[in-house]
């Protein structure tokens, strides 16, 4: 819809450049996985990508999709959406409020703001569907984590008490 062939081509060549710079191999699987996600305006899960790709790459396995996606994430070519792994969280605050999310520890704090109650939502959005509510998500590093000596800009998995599992190689 808002994604032209040029956009996709630009993303693909960016991928080639970044991959070459990082010295990772441009395998058939990685190319197709990136092409698939770069061509999508939805935000597919690993499984959705896998199912779409199976048609082109019958031998593809789901774990390769996961590995490739995290690799692309580490290369800064894609992002993850919403609360990453972690677990489901519950909220007893039913009033209209917004969230401050710490990208390091995953902590979420509420805040309210009269200035953010009637946000100017573009008309284009109203064509996507009926709007029930709007809320602002502020991402950052909470004060507790700021004091922490560890310096890491965008850890994939905020809380991992049992030894490092992955980092951008």
Taking the C-alpha atoms of residue 148 and residue 99, their distance in angstroms, rounded to an integer, is 22
Contacts of residue 119, defined as CB under 8 A and 6 or more positions apart, other chains included, come to: 134, 136
10 binds a second copy (CB under 8 A): no
Partner that binds at residue 17, options DNA, a second copy, none, CB closer than 5 to 8 Å by kind: none
- What is the CB neighbour count within 10 angstroms for residue 38? 19
Partner that binds at residue 138, options DNA, a second copy, none, CB closer than 5 to 8 Å by kind: a second copy
Q: Which residues pair with 99 in a beta bridge?
A: 110, 137
Q: Closest separation between CB of residue 42 and DNA, Å?
A: 15
Closest to 13 measured CA to CA, from 29, 42, 34? 34
49 binds a second copy (CB under 8 A): yes
52 binds a second copy (CB under 8 A): no
21 binds a second copy (CB under 8 A): no
Taking the C-alpha atoms of residue 15 and residue 30, their distance in angstroms, rounded to an integer, is 10
Tell me the per-residue interface mask from 84 to 123 with a second copy, x by CB under 8 A, - otherwise.
xxxxxxxxxxx----xx-xx---xxxxx-x-xx--xxxx-
Taking the C-alpha atoms of residue 102 and residue 143, their distance in angstroms, rounded to an integer, is 9
108 binds DNA (CB under 7 A): no
Return residues touching DNA (CB under 7 A).
24-30, 45-47, 57, 59-64, 66-68, 70, 85, 87-88, 157, 162, 165-166, 169
């Amino acid at each position: 819809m808002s994604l032209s062939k040029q956009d996709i081509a630009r993303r693909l060549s960016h991928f080639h450049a970044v991959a070459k710079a990082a010295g990772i191999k441009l395998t058939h699987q990685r190319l197709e996985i990136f092409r698939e996600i770069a061509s999508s305006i939805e935000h597919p899960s690993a499984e959705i990508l896998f199912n779409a790709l199976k048609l082109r790459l019958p031998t593809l396995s789901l774990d390769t999709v996961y590995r490739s996606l995290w690799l692309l994430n580490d290369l800064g070519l894609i992002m993850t959406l919403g609360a990453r792994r972690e677990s489901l969280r519950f909220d007893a605050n039913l009033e209209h409020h917004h969230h401050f999310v710490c990208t390091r520890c995953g902590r979420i704090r509420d805040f309210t703001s009269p200035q953010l109650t009637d946000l100017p939502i573009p008309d284009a959005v109203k064509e996507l569907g009926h709007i029930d509510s709007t809320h602002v998500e502020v991402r950052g590093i909470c004060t507790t984590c700021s004091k922490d000596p560890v310096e890491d800009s965008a850890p994939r998995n905020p809380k991992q008490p049992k030894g490092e599992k992955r980092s951008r190689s």
